[in-house]
Amino acid sequence: MRITKKLLVAGIVSIAATGGAVYATAAYASEAAAPAVAPKVTAEQAIGIALKQVPGSWVSELDFDARGQQADVWELELTKGAERHEVDVDAASGKVTKQQADQDDDDQNDDGDDD
């Protein structure tokens, strides 16, 4: 009788442990498999919007920033001559949410205004 009780208790404990691991794995898999919501504004559209803001420039960098609770944005870096422009385009509406211009200062002196 004692051996049967020990095996029964050991079996219940191992089933509970295995079930917890299976549940955790299933929860992680469903979270990881959830499709990301595609932005309404495509990368090509964001590039077009940014190029209208800084005519004559070219796109040197493009990133999609999914910000969770805040609106997702396309972050673009544009280059026009010696100027570098940062433009953020709202991925849902296509509105420009940020536009900033920086002078590209690579004059090799240590005045603190190099990148």
Residue 101 backbone zone (phi > 0: left; psi -120 to 50: alpha; other: beta): beta
Angle value at C-alpha 74, between 94 and 88, nearest 5 degrees: 75
What is the residue range of 83's domain? 43-103
Q: Write down the pLDDT at residue 74.
A: 97
Q: 71 and 98 in one domain?
A: yes
- Round to whole Å and give the CA distance between 42 and 76: 13
DSSP 8-class letter at 87: E
Which CATH number does the domain housing residue 93 bear?
3.10.450.40
What is the count of structural domains for the chain? 2
Q: 48 and 16 in one domain?
A: no
Q: 94 and 51 in one domain?
A: yes
Q: Is residue 110 part of a domain?
A: no
Q: 53 and 28 in one domain?
A: no
Q: 53 and 92 in one domain?
A: yes
Reading the chain (115 residues) residue by residue, the pLDDT tens digits are: 455 555 445 555 555 555 555 444 455 554 444 446 788 999 999 999 999 999 999 999 999 999 888 899 999 999 999 999 999 999 999 999 999 998 766 555 555 555 5
Instruction: Say what the pTM is.
Output: 0.59
In this structure, the number of other CB atoms found within 10 A of the CB of residue 44 comes to: 8
Q: Is residue 114 part of a domain?
A: no
Q: Write down the pLDDT at residue 22.
A: 47
Q: 99 and 66 in one domain?
A: yes
Q: Is residue 90 part of a domain?
A: yes
Partners of 77 in the β-ladder: 61, 86
Q: Is residue 18 part of a domain?
A: yes
Structure token digits, residue 69: 């609770």
